[in-house]
Amino acid sequence: MPSWTRVSWIVVAVAVVVGVVVGTVTWAIIGRGPSPPELRNLDWWENTVIYQIYPRSFKDTNGDGIGDLRGITSELEHFVDAGVGAIWMSPIFSSPMIDFGYDISDFYDIHYEYGTMADFEELVSRAHELGIKVLLDYVPNHASTESDYFKRSVAREPGYENYFVWADPVIDSQNNSRVPSNWISQFGGSVWEWNEIRQQYYLHQFAVEQADFNFREPAVRQEMLNIMRFWIEKGADGFRLDAIPHLFEANPNDHGGVYPDEPLTGNMFLTSDQPGYTTQEHVRDLIELYDVVYEWRDFVDRWQEDNQAETKVLLAEAYANITMTMLYYGNERGRIGAHFPFNFDFITSLSAKSNARDFVYVINRWLTYMPRGQVANWVFGNHDNNRMPSRFRTNMVDGLNGLNMMLPGVAITYQGEEIGMRDGYVSWEDTVDVSACNQGNPDNYLEYSRDPARTPYHWNNSTSAGFSTSQSTWLPVAEDYREINLQAQKEAERSHFKVYQSLTRLRKEPAVSHGDHHIQALSKNTLVLVRHIITYDTFALVFNVGTETDTVDLSTITLLAEPMTVYASSIFSRRVPGDTVPLGEVTLQPGEALVLQAPPT
């Protein structure tokens, strides 16, 4: 056969093979498409919504103007309705209520104003029947000075002598006796308080009545595990770990036998008894504390394994820089810590002044620093900070809830965020927060007060917003309850609550529960968050965080395709669920957010 004929046979054969391969692949892509990815089974907490209850302000059933456990039990359906998976209750244990429960006098009992142990058991069992997990607030850093622990330590009872951080006075060169160091408490004033009986100072990083445990004392470490075991055995599904950065202070053994003074920050607007006047290098974020958190994790994991139980979660409350925060997840030597440290960035790094780039930068910071394989979380408010719509703007509620629900990981809602509750007004006369009472005066107390974020929940427009049958409540009910309340929002055609419900539902979509995320500033004030996974619908949140109308071009986002429809929108938006949005220019009013649903790409 002449060589040109052989060549042409080869060419024909290659062409046929290539044709078959290309045809098959094309058929696979166009005709059948790629098969759906396997979706990893998520543990119960990994994609849940956690709702923080401030028990004193949630629901009062006995008419004393103070919320109680029966109130929480009576409203558990609200969480099912809202799409919440777990509740975390601020402390419910016996307490003189100097810091509204964060000063515990009996770690093994329920505070009498909140109910009884039987009420707690009922709450847990009913919640579990409804599929709601129950998390408790664990306060290991300090105990009330009314606790037995403290009283025994004051009396130097054997086994309790070193339960707290005790120190002798320092005698200076002029022979004057003074406090052991210049450290300042979180609520103002020295951390050192003289005890007449023991003739020593004790340390308190918070109120005078909240004495700090000594975590270098093995008996304290053991007791903390006992407390944890007690509540796990009562059915708790995990704990929020309070004030963890403060567990340790500098050890005098490392500083020539004294408690070293802190350097001054140089902040001239503060007086010498105000937090922030000194740096806090000797009183927070000490590396020793992480071993305690890792010890707790080992403990809950072992309990869970021994009892073949579901995961018991540990959530660390730590206001710290990003490096020290991430260490709560675990360290590089393979120790594992909290399931996550709370991400307070939306409280500490973003505000009404932030633009879209600030949002994108701050969100990416967490996701960049988070160790591989860990779960993110997003906090928009809590009982220690002004409420979310008051810190940002009231027209941003749905967009902020949209970010909370659409960012990867766990969403955390502080009670009232689902209906857009704002700060309540609390006069100086009505102020009860120890932080404001200690540091404030009638002119400046609002800078310190946490009461505005703690006013009672708005159930409806009846007496005391349906929180209590009494007109006199422990904190006044915010005046806007007639407009902003759950019942009205359930009845309205469009409301924050309805948007919230559709957002929690959205979390079940594979793109949101398992997909990739892509976040970008489309302009100075508008950001887009896209959640995407092959073969399933894509969802995108487009959110104007600014104060002016903004037009952006969606066609630059390659993960989006037409036809796009509105899945949810801010309650004041001209676009409603079901509306079509072209993949081109879109104009958003100030604060407006749209959640768009697009076909798989």
Min. distance of Cβ 414 from ligand NOJ in angstroms? 11
List the interface residues with ligand NOJ, window 296-335 (CB under 6 A). 317
User: Closest Cα partner for 223 from 333, 69, 104?
Assistant: 104
CA distance 494 to 503: 14
Confirm if 212 and 90 have CB atoms less than 8 A apart.
no
Min. distance of Cβ 375 from ligand NOJ in angstroms? 22
Tell me the residue type at 522. L
Selecting among 317, 398, 418, 537, the annotated active-site residue is 317
> DSSP for 401-432?
HHHHHHSSSEEEEETTGGGT--PPP--TTT--
In the bound state, the residue with its beta carbon closest to ligand NOJ is: 102
Closer of 139 and 419 to ligand NOJ (Cβ): 139
Q: How far is CA 67 from CA 97, 100, 127, in A?
A: 14, 12, 18
Q: Considering the rule CB under 6 A, would residue 243 count as an interface residue with ligand NOJ?
A: yes
Q: Which of 54, 102, 392, 543 binds ligand NOJ (CB under 6 A)?
A: 102
Tell me the residue type at 148. D
Q: Which of 60, 68, 99, 398 binds ligand NOJ (CB under 6 A)?
A: 99
Min. distance of Cβ 535 from ligand NOJ in angstroms? 43
Distance of CA 214 to the CA centre of its chain: 27
Pairing between strand 550-553 and 516-521? unpaired
Selecting among 103, 137, 217, 242, the annotated active-site residue is 242
Written as six digits, the tokens of 397 are 């509620």
Q: Please indicate whether residue 242 is annotated as part of the active site.
A: yes
Min. distance of Cβ 426 from ligand NOJ in angstroms? 16
Q: Considering the rule CB under 6 A, would residue 433 count as an interface residue with ligand NOJ?
A: no
Q: Considering the rule CB under 6 A, would residue 139 count as an interface residue with ligand NOJ?
A: yes
H-helix segments, 452-575: 486-491, 496-506, 510-513
CA distance 525 to 522: 8
Closer of 377 and 485 to ligand NOJ (Cβ): 377
Closer of 66 and 139 to ligand NOJ (Cβ): 139
Closer of 435 and 504 to ligand NOJ (Cβ): 435
Min. distance of Cβ 388 from ligand NOJ in angstroms? 16
Q: Which residues, 6+ apart, have CB-to-CB distance to 145 below 8 Å?
A: 208, 209, 210, 211
Min. distance of Cβ 317 from ligand NOJ in angstroms? 6
Closer of 61 and 185 to ligand NOJ (Cβ): 185
Closer of 210 and 570 to ligand NOJ (Cβ): 210
| Dihedral of alpha carbons 107, 111, 114, 115, sign | positive
Written as six digits, the tokens of 155 are 């009396």
Min. distance of Cβ 43 from ligand NOJ in angstroms? 26
Q: How far is CA 318 from CA 321, 335, 338, 544, in A?
A: 9, 18, 11, 30
Distance of CA 118 to the CA centre of its chain: 28
Size of the site for ligand NOJ (CB under 6 A): 9
Tell me the residue type at 14. V
List the interface residues with ligand NOJ, window 202-241 (CB under 6 A). 206
Alpha carbons within 13 A on the beta-carbon side of 422: 17
The phi, psi pair for 497, rounded to 5°, reads -65, -40
Min. distance of Cβ 65 from ligand NOJ in angstroms? 20
Q: Which of 46, 261, 358, 384 binds ligand NOJ (CB under 6 A)?
A: 384
Closer of 385 and 569 to ligand NOJ (Cβ): 385
Closer of 242 and 537 to ligand NOJ (Cβ): 242
CA dihedral 51, 408, 40, 233 (to 10 degrees): -30
CB count in 10 Å sphere of residue 178: 14
Closer of 433 and 537 to ligand NOJ (Cβ): 433
Q: Considering the rule CB under 6 A, would residue 290 count as an interface residue with ligand NOJ?
A: no
Min. distance of Cβ 40 from ligand NOJ in angstroms? 33
User: Closest Cα partner for 43 from 78, 85, 87?
Assistant: 85
* Contacts by residues 479-486 (CB-CB < 8 Å, ≥ 24 positions apart): 479/424, 479/425, 480/422, 484/419, 484/420, 484/421, 484/422, 484/458, 485/419, 485/458, 485/459, 485/460, 485/461, 486/78, 486/419, 486/457, 486/458, 486/459, 486/460
CA distance 120 to 137: 14
Closer of 453 and 595 to ligand NOJ (Cβ): 453
Confirm if 450 and 473 have CB atoms less than 8 A apart.
no
Closer of 45 and 102 to ligand NOJ (Cβ): 102
Q: What share of the chain is helix, strand, coil (3-state, %, to 5)?
A: 30, 20, 50
Helix (H, G, I), strand (E, B) or coil at 240: strand
Min. distance of Cβ 100 from ligand NOJ in angstroms? 7
Confirm if 149 and 106 have CB atoms less than 8 A apart.
no
Q: Please indicate whether residue 217 is annotated as part of the active site.
A: no
CA distance 244 to 314: 12
Q: Considering the rule CB under 6 A, would residue 242 count as an interface residue with ligand NOJ?
A: yes
Min. distance of Cβ 493 from ligand NOJ in angstroms? 37
DSSP letter at 262?
A: P
CA dihedral 121, 125, 127, 129 (to 10 degrees): -170
Q: Which residues bind ligand NOJ (CB under 6 A)?
A: 99, 102, 139, 206, 242-243, 317, 383-384
Return the active site residues.
242, 317
